[in-house]
Structure 1
Amino acid sequence: MVLEPIHCPSCNNTNIVKHGKSPEGKQRYKCRNRDCPRSTFLLQYTYQGHLPEVKRKISDMAVNGSGIRDTARVLNVSPTTVIEELKKRMVS
């Protein structure tokens, strides 16, 4: 049996503990690094809009001039998800 260490997606720390289950039944994990901006995370998200790669692609497509509906169609996410992510990026 091989155990692979789980890394936090934000701080890349390996000091991770199990932290219950999500409503969909997926395992939730908690990062024990106090300075980490993300306290809990999942390894497999049910909705693709929660993935960091998809959020990055939303920003990249907006910079390149893609519209909200076009971005949502290409990435298979809701237009509301695209709008909310762009709002977050404008504030930061």
Structure 2
Amino acid sequence: MKIKCNFCNGKCIKNGLQSNGNQRYKCCVCKKRQQIEYSYNAYKKDINQEIVLFTREGLGIRSTARILKISATTLLKGIVSIARNITKPIISKGKTYKVDELCTYIRHKKNG
């Protein structure tokens, strides 16, 4: 059975066992280690797509975490990492644009 790397799609070879007894694999290209199947839901491949879907549908943090069976803290970290990967759109001068979402600015409170 040939295992492909989740990060670079390179070839993986066996590399010992995890503490829970699962086989661990190491990528020959990027040298990262991974498992075929993870016991914790936050490590599943399609979890980010589900987070985006539930966020678009308007679910809250706690209800999304409960449905996905992950902690709320892990969900928040996932949302932040997804948001960092979003590229800003190119806005040209002299064109008209429609805004679908309300954009708010939150600033830090000063002590004193």
TM-score in terms of structure 2 length = 0.65
**How far did residue 6 of structure 1 move?**
1.3
1:32 to 28, 41, 49: 28
2:14: which partner in 1?
18
Deviation at 1:71, TM superposition (A): 0.7
Amino acid at match of 2:13: V
RMSD over aligned Cα, in angstroms? 1.8
- Structure 2 unaligned segments of length 5 or more: list them: 86-112
- Which structure dedicates a bigger proportion of its chain to helix? 1
- For structure 1, the 5+ residue unaligned runs are none
Q: Which residue of 1 aligns with 2:100?
A: none
Larger RCO: Structure 1 or Structure 2 (Cα < 8 Å, ≥ 6 residues apart)? 1
Aligned residues: 85
What SS class does the counterpart of residue 20 from structure 1 fall into?
strand
* Residues in 1 aligned to 2:55 and 2:19: alpha-carbon distance in whole angstroms: 32
Corresponding position of 1:84? 77
Is 1:73 matched up with 2:66? yes
Structure 2 residue 3 is the aligned partner of structure 1 residue 6: yes
Structure 1 residue ranges (4+ consecutive) displaced by more than 3 angstroms after TM superposition = none
1:51-90, Cα deviation, whole Å (9 max, x unpaired): 1212321122113321111111111111111111011112
Paired with 1:43 and 1:16, the residues of 2 have a C-alpha distance of 11
1:36-51 aligned within 5 A: 39-51=32-44
Q: Provide the residue aligned with 2:53 in structure 1.
A: 60
